[in-house]
Structure 1
Amino acid sequence: MTSPEMTVGDLIDLLSGCDRSAPVRQAMNPFAPMAHRLAQVLQSVDETGQTVVYLAEGPDPDAQLGHLPPEVAIELTWQGLSLIHF
């Protein structure tokens, strides 16, 4: 990535190597890593006039799926092996 923020092009490049039939989930909150089901992609304009694309979870109460698998939290460097309780 050349910009401090991931662009749509960066996201497309990263997704191009993924299984197209796999569900998409969003990892959130590094202090209590949780997985969320994505439901919407929205394009808008921010306060500076820049076009921004948002990936959002849906309004369903089951949109939050629970804790991230430990290996995902470790790969994201949100948790270390010493913080994972097996």
Structure 2
Amino acid sequence: MAHTEMTVDELIDLLSGCDGRTPVRLAMNPFFPMAHRLAQVVQATDEIEQPVVYLAEGREADTQLGHLPPEVAVTLAWQAPVQAPPRRPRRTACGS
């Protein structure tokens, strides 16, 4: 199965509906979803000399921001929606 890659025009189109002052983050690793700060955009060529644009995280220690919010992982279909278990009544000191 061939993978289709997002183009710069498609990315710009998707971002055009967002507030331009909003920070951009990368959601990475669907098996252990984490959020990362975006630091650079680099234009280059790939191994077959086709142009490509890379979005890169920074090198600072705080570039990885932590776990991806669960609602984002669910929206990306990286995790299934999870509901909290029902609460049980608390036991009293006399064991009932």
How do 1:2-21 and structure 2 match up within 5 A?
Answer: 4-21=4-21
Distance verdict in 2 for CA 1:48–1:55, change over 3 Å: same
Extract unaligned runs of 5+ from structure 1: none
Structural RMSD (CA)? 1.7
Matches within 5 A, 1:38-77: 38-77=38-77
Partners of 1:74 and 1:19 in 2: how far apart? 23
TM-score between the two structures when normalised by the length of structure 1: 0.91
For normalisation by structure 2, the TM-score amounts to 0.82
In 2, Cα distance between equivalents of 1:14 and 1:78: 20
Shift, 1:85, TM fit: 6.5
Q: Which deviates the most, 3-12 or 38-47?
A: 3-12
Matched residues, number: 83
Q: Could you tell me which residue of structure 2 aligns to residue 78 of structure 1? A: 78
Q: Secondary structure at 1:49's aligned position in 2? A: coil
Q: State the identity as a percent.
A: 66
Q: Computing the radius of gyration over CA atoms, which structure comes out larger, 1 or 2?
A: 2
Read off the aligned partner of 1:56 and give its amino acid letter: A
Structure 1 stretches of at least 4 aligned residues deviating more than 6 Å after TM superposition: none
